[in-house]
Every structure is written in C-alpha cells, then in structure tokens.
Structure 1
C-alpha cells in the first residue's frame, strides 16, 4: 500500500512541477510584451489538419512562434519581416474551426520560399500588418 501511495505522490509532484514549468515558460516568453495567441499549420494538409496551438511574439525584425504545449525555450518557427511578401486572410474552412481558437481568422503569409498558415484574432492581425509596414527602408548595399 505504501508503494502505491509513493507512486501516486511522485506522479502528482511531477504533474505540479510540469504545470509550474509551463506557466513560467509562458511568462518568460511574454516578458517583453508583443505576444499573442497564434496557431500554426505545421504541415501542408487539408483544412483542419496539421494545426498546433501556439504563441507568437515580436522580437525586432522577427516574428517568433512557439508551441503552447512544449518545454522548448526556442521558437519552432522564425519569420523575418523582410521575408514576408504578402498576406491574405480568410475564414476557417472545413475542420479548422474545431482545431483553432474561437474567433480566429486564417492568415496565409507568403514568404519567399513557401506559404505559412497562421490563425489569429483580427486584432492580432492588425498588429502583424502594422509590424510589417513599419519596417525600416531597405539597407541593401550594392557593390
């Protein structure tokens, strides 16, 4: 009987520690502000498949995306502002309303080499568009 109680106690302690780590990670990611809830379609699949819940934040010229349910301290995806070539929006289709947060719109971001699909609120989309437009003029040098 004592062994069972020990195992249950260790499992409860592990669960509490995991919750504390998730909360601390979320707090650490949002410490500088500029964060918002944002889902990402990780694989190019049918509507409603391949989505992961996440958190995005602005860091200088980068938009960094982190999974919500992960212990990783580094972003899963980094999009440089200069890579973005265009953004279109649409309403969730198929099973997408079931796997994204309620009230989110789908944002299809055209990068130089691929298309990335985000799901975010319209307010967050306004922030992303303002962030894109506020890029400083190009600093390319020609030799």
Structure 2
C-alpha cells in the first residue's frame, strides 16, 4: 500500500466518522423534540464566566437544558417549574453568541437565588414566559 492510498483511507475514515456523528446529532435532536418544544439557547451559570450553547426543552413539569454536542437524551440541567421565576429581558440589549442570532438574556431564579442565565432568541422568550405562567397539568384542576 502506498502512502497516497493510506492517506486516502485515513481521510475516508474521518469523513465516515463525521457523517456518523452528524446522523447521531440529528437523531438525538429528533428524540428530544418528541417530548416537547426544543429551541437553541445558551446557559451561563453564576460561577462560570462563559456561555454554553445548548438546546432548551419546555417539559410538562420542568425546563430542561441539553448540551448541543452531547449524545445523551437526559438533560444536563433541569429547573422545576414550581418556584421558578424568570426576569424580563432588558429592552434593546442583545447578546452576541456564536450559534444564536441576537439573543436576549434572562435570569432564572429559584426561591430568590439566581440559578442560571439563559440567552434566547427574542421570539422564544414569549413562549418560555407563557409556559412558566400557565398552570402545570393537573395543578388546581378543580378550582371554581
């Protein structure tokens, strides 16, 4: 086997690995979307100086965040709907994060303490606000 053939085989193997990785990410995204609406977002924890790109899913009882490059279908972070509060994005302030177009930042707090900051596309914020303000399924169903 010549050197050229060996290089071609290595490049072919690399292309196959990249193609398989893209298929796995696509299947994971479809699997996540099967259990609730999914949108791109970024999260910044209070102790971290950087934003991490990921996917946000609005579940029936919790807000789930998934790392964008992971293969697991379990959330990396979750915030239970009860006791969760979100801030209003400041008007005119947008954050530039690679992978998100002109994102707005909101703060998630639970029982008065900040748990994370989320950067969302401006059109996604009303959906998250509506999800939070609506009653969880089965909560106060017999209220008259």
Shorter-chain TM range is: 0.7 to 0.9
Structure 2 Cα separation of the partners of residues 117 and 72 of structure 1: 23
Question: What is the TM-score normalised by the length of structure 2?
Answer: 0.78
Determine the structure 1 residue equivalent to 2:66.
66
CA-based RMSD: 2.3
2:46 and 2:114 in contact (8 A); partners too = no
Aligned length: 133
Q: 1:24 to 1:40 in 2, by over 3 A?
A: same
Quick check: 1:56–1:66 contact (8 Å CA) kept in 2? yes
Structure 1 unaligned runs (5+)?
none
Runs of 5+ in structure 2 lacking a partner?
none
1:138 Cα deviation after fit? 6.7
Following superposition, the deviation at residue 132 of structure 1 comes to 1.1
- Contact persistence 1:107–1:118 (CA under 8 A): yes
Greater fraction strand:
2
Q: Distance in 1 between matches of 2:44 and 2:18?
A: 28
1:104 equivalent to 2:103? Answer yes
> After the TM superposition, which parts of structure 1 deviate over 6 Å for at least 4 consecutive aligned residues?
none
Task: Classify the secondary structure of the residue corresponding to 2:30.
Answer: helix
Aligned: 1:34 with 2:37: yes
Deviation larger for 25-34 or 55-64: 25-34
User: For 1:60-80, what per-residue CA distance to the aligned partner results, in whole angstroms no more than 9, with x for missing partners?
Assistant: 111111111222221111011
Distance of aligned partners of 1:33 and 1:98 in 2 relative to their CA distance in 1, 3 Å threshold: closer
* Range with greater deviation from structure 2 (56-65 or 30-39): 30-39
Calculate the TM-score normalised by the size of structure 1: 0.79
